[in-house]
Amino acid sequence: MIPIMAYGTYTDNELAVLLKGGDQDAFTEIYNRFFGLLYIHACKRLKSDEEAKDIIQDLFAALWNKRESLQFGTELASYLYAAVRNRILNLAARSGIESRYMGTLKDFTGTEQVQSDFQIREKQLTQIIEREIGNLPPKMREIFLMSRTQGYSHKEIAEQLNISEHTVRTQVKNALRILRTKLGLLLYVIYLLKTFQK
């Protein structure tokens, strides 16, 4: 049995192979890795949070239910973006409002372009999160980074900075509260997922 933590180290294509074999933990890792980015991507094209949420949830349901027969090609990311594109087009056709979507889908074409778009969006999200962490009060930021990115325990931080564990816990809690307020729920969840995957 593969340790749960190991899945975060696998490439997208390795996870795709495990998924086709019925590995539920591989599916969970794919979901955690792609849900936020695909959701934001769909939101920008649909201009509707609810429609985007429905499309992405439907995509992941189909991904699991049809896992044995899926053909991912060379890149899992490209497959997922193409699946989102197709669902948006189907929604447009059913709704009779193609003009609302067609002009927004130009950057879906081509594997290299899709992969590039994915990487750009991931970089943008990382920059937004890092900027908000940088805006935290200096002492709070120091404690937060020691806890979340350097992996120190509250006790270790307290000893190094000569403060109480209660102070450390309070500062980390306040930092998370500020980040959730500044980033909004979706980006905050993405940040937590990325942190736990490290």
Q: What span, in angstroms and rounded, lies between the C-alpha atoms of 89 and 18?
A: 29
* Structural contact between residues 189 and 36, judged by C-beta atoms closer than 8 angstroms: yes
Q: What percent of the chain has pLDDT over 90?
A: 14
Instruction: Determine whether domain 1-109 maps to CATH 1.10.1740.10.
Output: yes
Vertex 85 angle, CA 81 and 87, to 5°: 115
CATH class of domain segment(s) 135-198: mainly alpha
Q: Is the pTM of this model over 0.85?
A: no
Number of Cα atoms under 13 Å in the Cβ half of residue 43: 11
Supply 28's token pair: 């969970």
Measured over all CA atoms, what is the biggest interatomic distance in the chain, rounded to whole angstroms?
Answer: 65
Q: What would the pLDDT profile of 47-58 be if each residue is shown by its tens digit?
A: 778 888 889 999
Annotated domain spans of the chain: 1-109, 135-198
Tell me: the pLDDT tens digits for 117-140? 555 556 666 677 778 888 889 999
23 pLDDT higher than 80: yes
Instruction: For the chain, give the number of residues.
Output: 198
